[in-house]
Amino acid sequence: MSDKHPIVLLSDVIMADEEYAWAFFCNVAVPIMDAAGVDHKTANQTAAHLMQHLFEYDVTGHPLYEYGKSDAQQYAEFRVAMDRAEDAAIAKATGAGA
């Protein structure tokens, strides 16, 4: 048995297999559309944002994905990049992680 947390194992599978990731995405998007009563685009953008948020996987690059990133996903990706850059700068300045 792996020492990795189950969410990390799932993330690894999603990252490693584009078609598995697509199937997972579709199984998130459809219930959003059904339960929230939103259109296809909104459900897909919401599911794409969840995939980015939960698994750090950008499904919007998949050939079957029809819509762009939502503003929420674009902002979240920007914030993650900024946080990582800040963490790297702090580590470099303090010698942490060396």
Task: Enumerate the domain spans of the chain.
Answer: 6-94
pLDDT for position 96: 79
pTM across the whole model: 0.83
CA distance 44 to 41: 5
pLDDT for position 2: 76
CA distance 8 to 15: 10
Question: How far, in Å, are 51, 72, 81, 95, 97 from residue 77 at the CA level?
Answer: 12, 9, 6, 26, 24
pLDDT-derived band at 67, boundaries 50, 70, 90 = very high
